[in-house]
Amino acid sequence: MKELTKIKYWIFDLDNTLYSGQTKVFSEVDKKMSSFISEKFNVNLIEAKKIQKEYFYEYGTTLSGLMKKKSVDPNEFLEFVHDIDISWLPKDKLLKEELIKIKEKKYIFSNGSHAHIKNVTNQLGINGLFDGAFDITDGDFVPKPHLEPYKKLVEKFRIDPKQSILIEDIAHNLEQAKNLGMKTCWLENDETFAKKDADKSYIDYKINNLPSFLQKINVLKYN
């Protein structure tokens, strides 16, 4: 773990990473996706959920499937599904403290939208602590785990992958990061899809609590 004190670029996934998956924030987004499909294509919620998950597993995101199979306007979809009330999500004081201690560059890398990133970071009390954010529009609507958005992230922020780490809750989203030369860290997630491939060699670190992990790194760095 000592090697992580030399990291120059800290890259964080957003959903179920900067906040705990147990908070069920993403469940609110998930419900909105089903509602969008139900209303858009005049199907019941059960059928909508089926379509949603089929596209998610086949294309990496529900949006990718809707764009390819149904010619859905991505901006309309993103505006609808990320319009959620998360005022109940508590501030994360420890996460904020540890992020402040990291003086190196910090970025958010999400398959969500910039509006969703802003909503979540504002509610957590960590807005303004990052040097930039890369969302699904920055990747031209090509999501992780495809290689293209990783390359565009590196190019946009002039990141040196060999001096970087990506922290993610979906294990297979770490493969392309490792291929580019990044250190990789999987934040444990019990969802079947998220923990698939969690035993792969491209995962360097496994953690179960992000603030505690950052705290350990900061202690090593400054003591």
Do 112 and 218 share a domain, yes or no?
yes
Q: Among residues 145, 118, 119, 146, which one has the least CA distance to residue 132?
A: 118
For residue 86, is it within any domain? no
Helix (H/G/I), strand (E/B), else coil: 76: helix
Give the pLDDT of residue 40.
Answer: 95
The average confidence (pLDDT) of the chain is 96
Helices (H) and strands (E) in the chain, counts: 10, 6
Full domain range(s) for residue 41: 25-81
Q: Which of the four pLDDT bands, split at 50, 70 and 90, describes residue 223?
A: confident
**Structural domain count, the chain:** 2
Q: Which of the four pLDDT bands, split at 50, 70 and 90, describes residue 222?
A: confident
Instruction: Assign residue 47 the CATH number of its domain.
Output: 1.10.150.450
Do 39 and 127 share a domain, yes or no?
no
pLDDT digits (tens, 9 = 90+) for 30-65: 999 999 999 999 999 999 999 999 999 888 899 999
Do 59 and 145 share a domain, yes or no?
no
- Kindly report the pTM of this predicted structure: 0.95
Do 97 and 62 share a domain, yes or no?
no
Do 67 and 122 share a domain, yes or no?
no
User: In angstroms, what CA-CA distances link 191 with 63, 155, 197?
Assistant: 20, 31, 12
